[in-house]
Structure 1
Amino acid sequence: MSPDVEKLHADAIVIDATCPLLSEEPKHLELYRQGGFTAVAPTVPAKSSTSAEAILKFAMWRKLCRELDDLMMVLRADDIVEAKRSGKLGLIMHFQGTEPLDRSVDILDAYHALGLRVVQLTYNKRCHVGDGCEEEVDGGLSRFGKAVVRRLNELNIIVDVAHTGVRTSFDAIEHSSAPVILSHANARGVHSVPRNAGDDLYKAIAASGGVIGVVGFPAFVAKTKRPTLDQFIDHIAYIAEHIGIDHVGLGIDYYAGQAPICPDDVALALYERQVAVGNWTGESYPPPPYYYPEGIETPATMQALTAALVRRGFHEAEIRKILGENWLRVYRAVWG
């Protein structure tokens, strides 16, 4: 007998491990509330930020948590359980890139005190930690990068290798004493673009105890400009088949330049800036508009994913793992 979709979604812990949509505009929190999310991971802008800019973003989120009764900062795994129990939305602070470290390992202690719990090592380009996945040459972790991974482990901050070069990612897994994640990286075995990940990296992430977040950004889902929900689920099914259901979650990567949130002309200007500064390349990132998978075009309709997973034949326990329990397991392992 198929589960009651509405009840299943309402009861489940639902986590999106990558939320750049929230990096500038906390007003979009309402979309995640409508979608029944338990916890979300706002991107603290990091790919070109200074430490001062990052600290101001932490200050903004901490102020919102003081002022809004239905918002809370997630500092340990049980905070997500408490958010579910109390009907609040949990915030998991996430760096996409390590530029705000300002070449200092010690500054990680300050960020941890502010609430930082996940650090993505690079954002497509080379940085002082290592090489991004859009670089032609991947030299692996630098000496500084190895020191960063070691300190992240000591602080119980999760190491994330999304947007990171393959060799640099394998180096991070080798040097990390804790599970390593791919917060948002689809399967090259389903759709082959540089930003997606291959089976060898998936297997290494799983062996470390980590999880891969499946992405809704259309260019990473399928060749079409308007991917279907089934094409999105193809990546979930592929990861589950190749490394196990315990290692797949959601890192949907809703973005401020996507349709229908952003006008086309503004989205194009944002795109051109990303290309101009070298964060994006045309091979992986075609020009907008960006239409996320049909049915989950924004976070507000995430219940449609639960219904589609049921139709696809996933069992209730598997769906709960995909929606959030797998992430919660990793958070418990690293944060305690």
Structure 2
Amino acid sequence: MESTELESRARSLIDATLVWDNHACMPLRPLDPGFLPQLERHRRAGFDVVMLNVGFGDQGIEEHMRMVAALRHWIAGHPEQYLLLERVADAEEARRSDRLAVGLDIEGANAIGDQLSLIQIYRQLGVRWMAMAYNRNNRVGGGCQDDEDPGLSDFGRAVVREMERVGMAVCVSHTGHRTARDVLGYARRPVIFSHSNCAALRAHPRNIPDALIRDCAATGGLVGINGVGIFLGANDIASETYARHIDHVVQLVGPRHVNIALDYVFDRQELDEYMEKMKHTFPAGLGYELGGRFVAPEQLTEIVATLLRWGYDETSLIAILGGNMMRVMSELEEGTKQ
């Protein structure tokens, strides 16, 4: 089949189904909304939902709360184009009304400090998932780039239980492998690797081995494939390379346990400045010195066309594009009603 015909089929499928990007990064500047109109790129590419982080790493409670407030305020001020993803039903409403639903996420449990009660507040404000760590160890457990991962702490177990209680997805991206295994064994509800790639295809501390992918699927959870070049390959952002990471998960655990999470960074200058400031936290030899290259939202059609060329059927693609996220988030949301 010709590539033009495949891309036409891909575009028709994208237009006919709900599409969810589970992680993207806008500038974390609460007084500067200048980049936010670029979310239109996601909508034009065919996405119905995009998740934005409100903080990461060592940032504290105030920094996270200020970004939550800023994003909620901006979204509320643009109701014809966007709506806040507060309930799973908002994803379908966004699709029906030709808008983009915007959800919130947190990269690393430093966002709650030592205060469990903040988890429910974040969830009420629109945070749908929180990662246990961001590369480095914290109160909850180990990060994927610290020398020694201590595993899930007692406080971390309390965090997992509280997140499950309020219907927030527990994420183990950026988390050390020992802590991730502990979480996967301890959780009672689906766990997600919100944006992690396959170590079998690209050896890197941020990527995850097949055993963890299988353990995640066993919880009913998902592995979201990110579009960061140094995690996909040698700073490779080709659509086919991205699709190979999707396919690897599918071959291991089936199409019900993988989704899209591009991790697209809109403000490259902010990223470069952060990498320079924090270079002591990014070990040499892992590709960080190459600079950030990312699979763009506009590559969605080409990614789907690649999977069609490899023989993926529409049922599997509908699941990967958004159905899997809807299933897991619906299960978490329903669990809060019991």
Aligned twin of 1:316: 314
User: Structure 1: how far apart are the matches of 2:129 and 2:148?
Assistant: 26
Aligned twin of 2:21: 16
Aligned twin of 1:150: 161
State the Cα distance separating 1:285 from its structure 2 match.
4.0
User: Structure 2: how far apart are the matches of 1:88 and 1:267?
Assistant: 28
Report the CA distance shift for 1:188/1:226 in structure 2 as closer, same or farther (over 3 A). closer
Aligned letter for 1:178? R
Report the CA distance shift for 1:151/1:267 in structure 2 as closer, same or farther (over 3 A). closer
Q: Deviations for 1:206-251, whole angstroms, at most 9, x for unmatched residues?
A: 000000011110011112x334221111111110001111101111
State the Cα distance separating 1:78 from its structure 2 match.
1.6
Is the Cα contact below 8 Å between 1:221 and 1:232 reproduced in 2?
A: yes
Is the Cα contact below 8 Å between 2:88 and 2:330 reproduced in 1?
A: yes
Is the Cα contact below 8 Å between 2:239 and 2:299 reproduced in 1?
A: no
Aligned twin of 1:88: 99
Instruction: Judge which range, 22-31 or 146-155, deviates more.
Output: 22-31
Match of 1:58 among 51, 57, 68: 68
State the Cα distance separating 1:39 from its structure 2 match.
0.5
State the Cα distance separating 1:23 from its structure 2 match.
4.5
Aligned letter for 1:82? E
**Pair 1:327-2:325 in alignment:** yes
User: Structure 2: how far apart are the matches of 1:179 and 1:9?
Assistant: 26
Q: How does 1:1-336 map to 2 (within 5 A)?
A: 4-21=9-26, 23-24=28-29, 25-69=35-79, 70-223=81-234, 225-256=235-266, 262=268, 268-276=272-280, 278=281, 280-292=282-294, 297-336=295-334
Q: Deviations for 1:288-314, whole angstroms, at most 9, x for unmatched residues?
A: 43333xxxx422342222222222221
Q: Deviations for 1:175-201, whole angstroms, at most 9, x for unmatched residues?
A: 221100001111111111111000110
Instruction: Judge which range, 33-42 or 44-53, deviates more.
Output: 44-53
State the Cα distance separating 1:152 from its structure 2 match.
0.4
Question: Which runs of no fewer than 5 residues in structure 2 stay unpaired?
Answer: 30-34
- RMSD over aligned Cα atoms: 1.8
User: Structure 2: how far apart are the matches of 1:111 and 1:267?
Assistant: 25
Is the Cα contact below 8 Å between 1:249 and 1:323 reproduced in 2?
A: yes
TM-score (norm 1): 0.91
User: Structure 1: how far apart are the matches of 2:37 and 2:99?
Assistant: 16
- How many residues were matched structurally? 323
Q: Deviations for 1:38-78, whole angstroms, at most 9, x for unmatched residues?
A: 11110111312221121111111211222112211112222
Is the Cα contact below 8 Å between 1:184 and 1:215 reproduced in 2?
A: yes
Is the Cα contact below 8 Å between 1:73 and 1:90 reproduced in 2?
A: yes
User: Structure 2: how far apart are the matches of 1:226 and 1:199?
Assistant: 21
State the Cα distance separating 1:269 from its structure 2 match.
3.0
Aligned letter for 1:274? M
User: Structure 2: how far apart are the matches of 1:283 and 1:133?
Assistant: 15
Is the Cα contact below 8 Å between 2:170 and 2:192 reproduced in 1?
A: yes
Aligned letter for 1:291? R
SS in 2 for 1:4: helix
Aligned letter for 1:53? E
Report the CA distance shift for 1:227/1:58 in structure 2 as closer, same or farther (over 3 A). closer
Aligned letter for 2:157? K
TM-score (norm 2): 0.90
Q: Deviations for 1:92-113, whole angstroms, at most 9, x for unmatched residues?
A: 2100011121211111122122
Aligned letter for 1:327? M
Is the Cα contact below 8 Å between 2:133 and 2:140 reproduced in 1?
A: yes
Aligned letter for 1:39? V
Aligned letter for 1:113? Q
User: Structure 2: how far apart are the matches of 1:104 and 1:274?
Assistant: 26
Aligned letter for 1:335? E
Is the Cα contact below 8 Å between 1:123 and 1:164 reproduced in 2?
A: yes
SS in 1 for 2:289: coil
Aligned letter for 1:11? A
Is the Cα contact below 8 Å between 1:163 and 1:195 reproduced in 2?
A: yes
Is the Cα contact below 8 Å between 1:64 and 1:71 reproduced in 2?
A: no
Question: Which runs of no fewer than 5 residues in structure 1 stay unpaired?
Answer: none
Is the Cα contact below 8 Å between 2:56 and 2:108 reproduced in 1?
A: yes
User: Structure 1: how far apart are the matches of 2:237 and 2:123?
Assistant: 37
Instruction: Judge which range, 24-33 or 78-87, deviates more.
Output: 24-33
Aligned letter for 1:298? A
SS in 2 for 1:92: strand
State the Cα distance separating 1:83 from its structure 2 match.
1.2
